[in-house]
Amino acid sequence: MATELSTCFFSHGSIGQLNCNHVNVRYYRSPSRRSLAASCKMRQRNSSSQQKRQPAKRIFPEQLSTNSNLQPKGEAESDPEYPTTSTITSSTREDISDDHADTTIAVEHSNEQVSTTALALLEDINIPSVVANKGEQLSGIHLQDLIGMIRHAEKNIHLLNQARIRALEDLQKILGEKAALQGEINILEMRLAETDARMRVAAQEKINVELLEAQLEKLRNELSSRGGTPEIVHDAHEIVPLAHNNGFNSLTEELNKFRTENMSLKVDLQELKAELSNVKQTDERVEMLEKERSLLESSLKELETNLAVSQQDVAKLSTLKSECKTLWEKVEHLQALLDNATKQADQAILVLQQNQELREKVDRLEESLEEANVYKLSSEKLQGYNELMQEKIKLLEERLQRSDEEIHSYVQLYQDSVKEFQNTLDTIKEESKRRALDEPVDDMPREFWSRVLLMIDGWFLEKKIQTDDATVLREMIWKRDGRIRDAYMACKEKNEPGIIATFLRMTSSPTRSGLHVIHIAAEMAPVAKVGGLGDVLTGLSKALQKRGHLVEVILPKYDCIQYERIHDFRALDMVVESYFDGRLFKNKVWVGTVEGLPVYFIEPHHPANFFWRGQLYGEHDDFKRFSFFSRAALELLLQAGKKPDIIHCHDWQTAFVAPLYWDLYAPKGLNSARICFTCHNFEYQGTAPASELASCGLDVHHLNRPDRMQDNSAHDRVNPVKGAIVFSNIVTTVSPTYAQEVRTAQGGQGLHATLNLHTKKFVGVLNGIDTDVWNPATDSYLKVQYSANDLQGKLENKEALRKHLGLSSADVKRPLGRLLPK
């Protein structure tokens, strides 16, 4: 049995072409028939795996073209309807189990529903072609080609399902025959072993006979040497050979019989080896069929993803249809005005022609008058004629004046219509331009906007542009203004002064569409990560950036940072001076993008080499290291002229930001932001002697009080986490449940009284996951995939992990996870 399938593969590259490849798949039916229980399971697994799709590449309708190669070959050409499971032969249906048949029918039914929905959506779309003034046209979309290709893809899907069922049947039969042949080979090998044993026994008996002959010959020699009587010797010669010949003949016959049987066994063995080679060839064909089946499945998946993309394009076409209808109505209105103006212009031309004819008549009359004067007609006739002519001239002049007034009114109306038409066109163009400027540009990656933002900040910090210009350009980047992208692309070949001049020409006053958020933290995944803080910081920043907010991150420049994960990493040509221990220290500022986010790295020029220790935490002077970093970060914001809406600090390492901001930097002009503090684990609070707080410039006597930063368990120590709780506008933690736990004396680690005092601004926000890094809905390593909408798979995965680790399942509510030291 051979089935030829024609499959169409969609690929979307740089120019979006449609490539069609024809794959010929041939399946061979084995002579025997076996049960299809295993093939049914394989079919179910294949059906379930089809649900695990990854986002497909987009294919726009205008990129599609008709292709005759999409027509199915072979059996599909003769059947105009979609092939179903009824086309399978009766003998095949008897071999397939009920579960397998149900699975196949469900798959085909779902395919029919998808195709019906797609065709219904596509057939409802009828977008007219709009021809605008000055050659502007909206190209039509070949929807019939798309509908035809979807229908042919659906036929190919049904053919693939049918061919897959037949291939599974043949595979099961081949496996059964292989098992039977293997059993026969085992029996023949056992018989061959028995024959070898019997041959070895016969060989041993032959050796014994030869030994007996040697002994007999020896006895004969002894008898002859002793001089025995000839009769005795003769009798011995007759008796012994007779017995010897009888035994030898029997052994010879048995040996010949063994040899004959051995030859037959060898012949059978050669035949079995030939059959075994045929089986191996069949296995190779089966493997080839499996490969071709996997190729067909991948093609089927790609067709389904392309179908999903086409449905999305259909939804977009519906919106385009409404816009085209609106534009069509406007153009029809303008066309009507233009027709009216044209008609009026035609009437004016007719009136002008009539006036020209009248003037020609007047000219002829004047010539007649001149002729009359030449011939000196009689005075009476001449006078009467002159009076008549004067009356006619007056009448013609009146008619000419009226016609001139009408022509003037027509011309004025025509000019008004043309002006109205031009004004309408200008309004439409302005609306289109304004819409294009207002809409954010989504065709550039997040790394591009972060790189441009860092470039603008570098110009400002290096004193190459003014504060107002830097603010305006940041706003435009924030809105993802298309002019920024166009200017950047146009300035690739220019030097830096030319690029700056180009960007400064675009400065205006755009409106803000989101929040400006700056994270100050000690960790960020994946470049500097110890625990969950780094993952939360990166995931939260990416989520805020996707929602249209401007997000920036400030980190220490550790010596153990993963520099290969930082893109466009460079140092700015400027230094930031910050106060510490009674003097000013310089800080070098580095910039780069991490996971598409703009990041600033502060490198202190301090003799203690605060961040050149080979690790992030665990040093004896961690309090000084991170208090220095917190003040340097705020100094960078002040000198860069940034006006953030939110400054978000994390854990005790950057908790100093809250009191530093309100006590020192808000009076200096950095007062646009509100402070958000997130404590990921209240067990780590970073307490230290109160005297060390003075190093970063804070007033110890002012802050070492019970209602501020004084530690609740020791009056001579300060608690950075407590200070952040007091001085922040809002305090968050990792979940609502944990927020309730830390309000108690047992879970609050000594801060429960402070948290209860500031309970109105303390909330628990449940941490999420970054689906770009790990998505349980598509993770193939999980036994069962799950999502936020369907959490049933978590219980099944938990049970599977218990079985894999050999853990007890008696208490299913017992959590599986890590234990933190208390």
Task: Give the tens place of pLDDT for each residue, 721-742.
Answer: 999 999 999 999 999 999 999 9
Q: Which phi and psi (to 5°) does residue 163 adopt?
A: -65, -35
pLDDT score of 109: 47
Q: Torsion-angle region of residue 650: left (phi > 0), alpha (psi -120 to 50) or beta? A: beta
Q: Which phi and psi (to 5°) does residue 192 adopt?
A: -65, -40
Provide the token pair at 30. Answer: 């084995």
The whole-angstrom separation of Cα 21 and Cα 6 is 8
Among residues 704, 673, 702, which one has the least CA distance to residue 688?
A: 704
Provide the token pair at 291. Answer: 């490969």
In angstroms, the Cα distances linking 649 to 162, 424, 520, 727 are 60, 53, 5, 12
Q: Is the Cβ–Cβ distance between 16 and 75 less than 8 Å?
A: no
- Residue 582 exposed, middle or buried by CB count within 10 Å (0-12, 13-18, 19+): exposed
DSSP string, 492-560: TTS-HHHHHHHHHTT---PPP-S-EEEEE-S-BTTTB-SSHHHHHHHHHHHHHHHTT-EEEEEEE--TT
Task: Collapse the DSSP code of 650 into the 3-class scheme (helix H, G, I; strand E, B; otherwise coil) and give the result.
Answer: strand
Report domain extents, the chain: 439-513, 516-688+720-764, 780-822
Is the Cα torsion angle 266, 271, 277, 280 positive or negative in sign?
negative
Q: Is the Cβ–Cβ distance between 641 and 576 less than 8 Å?
A: no
Neighbouring C-beta atoms of residue 478, cutoff 10 Å: 22
The whole-angstrom separation of Cα 378 and Cα 368 is 15
HEC sequence for 236-299: HHHHHHHHHHHHHHHHHHHHHHHHHHHHHHHHHHHHHHHHHHHHHHHHHHHHHHHHHHHHHHHH
**Which parts of the chain register pLDDT below 70?**
1-142, 227-248, 372-380, 382, 429-443, 508-513, 818-822
Angle (CA) 670 676 680, round 5°? 140
pLDDT score of 630: 97
Neighbouring C-beta atoms of residue 472, cutoff 10 Å: 20
pLDDT score of 62: 39
Which stretches does DSSP call E strand in 563-640?
567-580, 583-594, 597-604
For 94-117, b/e burial (b = at least 16 CB within 10 A) is: ebbeeebbebbeebbeebeebbee
What contacts 237, CB < 8 A, 6 or more positions away? 220
pLDDT score of 444: 75
Does CATH number 3.40.50.2000 belong to domain 516-688+720-764?
yes
Beta bridge pairs of residue 580: 583
